[in-house]
Amino acid sequence: MTLKDASAPLTRFQITLVILALACGGFGIGTGEFAIMGLLPDVAATFQVTTPQAGYVISAYALGVVVGAPLIAIAGAKASRRSLLLVLMAVFTVGNLASALAPDFWSFTLLRFLTGLPHGAYFGVSALVAASLVPVQMRAQAVGYVMLGLTVATLLGTPVMAYFGQSLNWRVLFLSVGLIGALTVTLIWFYLPRDQAHEGASVMRELVAFTHPQVLLTLTLAATGFGGMFSIFSYIASTATEVAHMPAVMIPLIMALFGVGMNVGNVVGSKLADIALMGTIGGMLVFNVVVMTLFSLTAATPWMLCTCTFLIGCTFAAGPAIQTRLMDVASDGQTLAAASMHSAFNIANALGAWLGGLVITLGFGYAATGYVGAVLSLVGLLVFAASVLLERRSSPGLRPVLD
């Protein structure tokens, strides 16, 4: 069944097809973004660099997301959401296929930067599309369903690609992700209805989002609060083998545990967010601090490392809540704000990977990445408190935040 007329209401089955198409792109993006973390030693060996140096490719991709999300959202302000999604996923597809053929480390790093450019705008526009298809009280769950592609990638795509990357060659990862991107383009073409650009859409209308303090606070919260997850997970393979002395064959299992945690967090967190949006965000930041500190204290024990890896994956429960919060406070600049959420998310990625690599290089060891994560989560908690205080001061007669 194909969908051609956006003016007619969609059936539940048609909405499911649209969300599946959008989630497929999330699956490809998540597989490419996370699986490389388990293959950094292999990339380092191919290009004859150290593992922390190989971590630069993670930061380069994240930087591409940070730069690309707002620029593309502004450039595509007058485009229909369907057209924008098709272009974004086409660029992502080509970038991954080219990454599979990179001849040296610097060209590979550049290609990862270019491939990251459409990432944030794709997720942002997908979230807006999904939220527009369901009743307002189910927005966070619809956003969560799109993000399910990302979290399922950590459960299935990442460990599978880590296995084949180790067994065959890490380049297989990017070839496979490129093919998933091509499939997504096909699904969006057939199942997402044609639409028109929003009436009155303009660059200035999008830019107005950044005049709202709550937008800036929410983006800052995402950039810091998620950083801890990446500071730990970027080096989880080396932590497992060097600190817990686990065999390399266990790395795909550890990544699968992280993926299970992300899926549990995404499903539970999106339901909680529709009940208590800000309560979910604040509660998860506290949870982050506790779990990431525990990770550093117990990383030398294999079963505790596995347990903490699962729990760190669960911290993704805040994702749908933060995305929904951002759409709520963005007023008329929703496309730019929604896309910028993933800029913030990948600032967290770059910041976490960089700080994690820094403490390792300074000699504190791989287990110290958990302390980095706890500190970043504390910073996020302070930003959250500022957001709560500002909202209560601007609406003194209301209690809109934690109810």
Considering only CA atoms, which of 122, 282, 140 is closest in space to residue 217?
282
pLDDT at 95: 93
Phi-psi map region of 48: left, alpha, beta (phi>0 left; psi -120 to 50 alpha): left
12-193+200-394: CATH architecture: Up-down Bundle (1.20)
* Three-state SS sequence of 80-131: CHHHHHHHHHHHHHHHHHHHCCCCCHHHHHHHHHHHHCCHHHHHHHHHHHHH
* Contact indicator for 223, 348 with CB cutoff of 8 Å: yes
Report CA-CA distances (Å) from 305 to 44, 236, 241, 285.
24, 9, 11, 20
* Contact indicator for 312, 295 with CB cutoff of 8 Å: yes
List of long-range contacts for 91-95, beta carbons under 8 Å, 24+ apart:
91/115, 91/117, 91/118, 92/25, 92/28, 92/29, 92/118, 92/119, 92/122, 92/181, 93/178, 93/181, 93/182, 93/184, 93/185, 94/178
pLDDT at 198: 62
CA dist., res. 290 & res. 225, Å (int)? 13
Report CA-CA distances (Å) from 129 to 84, 182, 214.
12, 20, 22
pTM: 0.75
CA dist., res. 43 & res. 32, Å (int)? 14
Q: Longest C-alpha distance within the chain, in Å?
A: 62
pLDDT at 400: 40
Sign of CA dihedral 21, 22, 23, 28: positive
What letters, b where the CB count within 10 A reaches 16 and e where it falls short, cover 200-233? ebeeebbbbbbeeebbbbbbbbbbbbbbbbbbbb
Which distant-in-sequence residues (6+ apart) come within 8 Å of 395 by Cβ?
none
pLDDT at 7: 54
pLDDT at 300: 92
Q: Which amino acid belongs to residue 68?
A: G
pLDDT at 395: 62
CA dist., res. 44 & res. 38, Å (int)? 12
What does the block give as tokens for 124? Answer: 């942002």
Map out the domains of the chain as residue ranges: 12-193+200-394
pLDDT at 146: 85
pLDDT at 196: 64
| pLDDT one digit per residue (tens) for the chain, 403 residues | 444 455 566 777 888 888 899 999 999 998 888 788 778 888 888 888 887 788 888 888 878 887 887 788 777 767 788 888 999 999 999 999 999 999 999 999 999 999 999 988 898 888 888 887 877 777 778 888 888 888 888 778 877 887 788 788 889 899 999 999 999 999 999 888 877 666 555 566 667 666 778 888 988 998 888 888 888 988 888 899 999 999 988 887 887 888 889 889 988 888 888 888 888 999 999 999 999 999 999 999 999 999 999 999 898 888 888 888 887 787 666 677 777 777 787 788 778 888 988 999 898 989 999 999 999 999 999 999 998 898 888 765 444 433 3
pLDDT at 209: 66
